[in-house]
Amino acid sequence: MKNYVYIGLLGLGTVGSGVVQLINDHQEELVHQVGCNVKVKSILVRELEKERNIQIGETYLTTDPNEVLRDPEIDIIVEVIGGIEETKKYIIEALEAKKHVVTANKDLIALYGPELQKMALDNQCDLFYEASVAGGIPILRGLADGFVSDRIQKLMGIVNGTTNYILTKMDEDGFSYEQALKEAQELGFAESDPTADVEGLDAARKMAILARLAFLTEVNLEDVEVSGISKVAVEDLNYGKKLGYTMKLIGLANFENQQLEVSVQPTFLSKSHPLASVKNEYNAIYVNGEAVGETMFYGPGAGSLPTATAIMSDVVAIMKNMRLQVNGNSFVGPRFERVLKSPDQRFGQYYFRLHLKDEVGAFSKITNLFNKLDISFEKILQTPLSKEDLAEIIIVTHKVSLEQFQTALMELSDLPVIKNVISYYRVEGDGK
């Protein structure tokens, strides 16, 4: 093996700077692990004259991607610029030039991961993307290697720190959604345009990647059912507390009888659930395996050095493969045909908040409807409202099919005694 492994870095923002810092500060550890030095030879940037807080030494800065992608001395391309279509072209060019690729780009991998993996395999190159999900948490390698002899049945994850921070502030400090979002933006946890985070799109991309690895089946981004947190009200969180729940934006993936279910939605968790204690900007992924049982991965889901740590774990893995001359052999393709569960095959508990006309026999009409649909109640709360002669009713069902839930929701809206169906959420675990 060569005395040096040269890296070409695409991007020198927050994460790219973290990669450079780790390579500079941890050179002795890297040499001990892989037997040679690691050097960033050149970096693609948007502005050459921009002032930076990172020491790059003799590393060459360029605005021309060809000077990085076509440099014959560069062994590994590390992509941290983001974006999709243009970045895809860069990665394809790198793989065609027989360069190994590490990327932190969840959007790209969620959309084009299988295609790029196939191209990497054809060119006997490694394509790794540990940093694309949950920042510094080593969940992808855990799924691919740590659970290789097990059958994973279920994944549940808090995989977006922005929404977890917002919900924590709403739940613990009584902030409105708007107040919590503003604070998250001021602290740098949320973008000026937070849509991808708060509407669940970011989490959906990550769940598609996780489900592919966990279940060895194709998962398309459009297979993930998505609902965000922008309409979550403090009133619902307060009712949740009374019932023993806390709310999180949960990515859920189930695989039973070779049939798949993947969703992202605000979910009430029992306070005894391991994910319920994950607060602020932290991420966690709960994995249920047939053999191992329940495990959980927890840690910072973003940030310069945590994400750079995940990237460097991929770089070290590639360098070890180079030493063993086994690059391009780690990709495992799908084992199972992609089959999505139908609504009558998907089961869960559900929370409803209703405004009911405060009149004799009104609640019996609800119970008659639920009995007709074979839905039973686990918990009920009733609070009178001072205006309009209404009562606020909270119902938590026992486990029912998604089909039963959707039918109940439609028929509740049509009942004359129901003024409004205010909100409804999935529930995981007993709130005790």
- Cα–Cα distance measured from residue 77 to residue 66, given in angstroms and rounded to the nearest whole number: 12
- State both tokens at 62: 């360029």
Is residue 315 within 8 Å of 78, Cβ to Cβ? Answer: yes
Q: So what's the pLDDT on residue 57?
A: 82
Do the bridges between strand 259-270 and strand 100-103 make them parallel or antiparallel, or are there none, so unpaired?
A: unpaired
Inform me whether the pLDDT recorded for 432 exceeds 60.
Answer: no
Alpha carbons 195 and 203: distance in angstroms, whole number:
12
Q: Mean pLDDT over all residues of the chain?
A: 93
| Type of residue found at 4 | Y
CA atoms 394, 395, 401, 405: torsion sign:
negative
User: How many Å apart are CA 148 and CA 155, to the nearest integer?
Assistant: 15
Q: What is the pLDDT of residues 55-75, one digit of tens each?
A: 888 889 999 999 999 999 999
Nearest to 83 by CA among 56, 62, 65: 65
For the chain, domains (ranges, CATH) are 4-136+304-324 (3.40.50.720), 148-300 (3.30.360.10), 344-428 (3.30.70.260)
With a cut of 60, say whether residue 290 has pLDDT above it. Answer: yes
Taking Cα atoms as reference points, which of 162, 244, 150, 234 lies closest to residue 195? 162
| pTM, rounded to two decimals | 0.93
CA 91 to chain centre: 23
Active site amino acids:
206
Provide the β-strand partners of residue 179. none
Q: What pLDDT is recorded for position 358?
A: 81
Closest CA to 164 of 359, 300, 46, 11: 300
pLDDT at 249 > cutoff 80: yes
Check residue 1 and give its pLDDT. Answer: 61
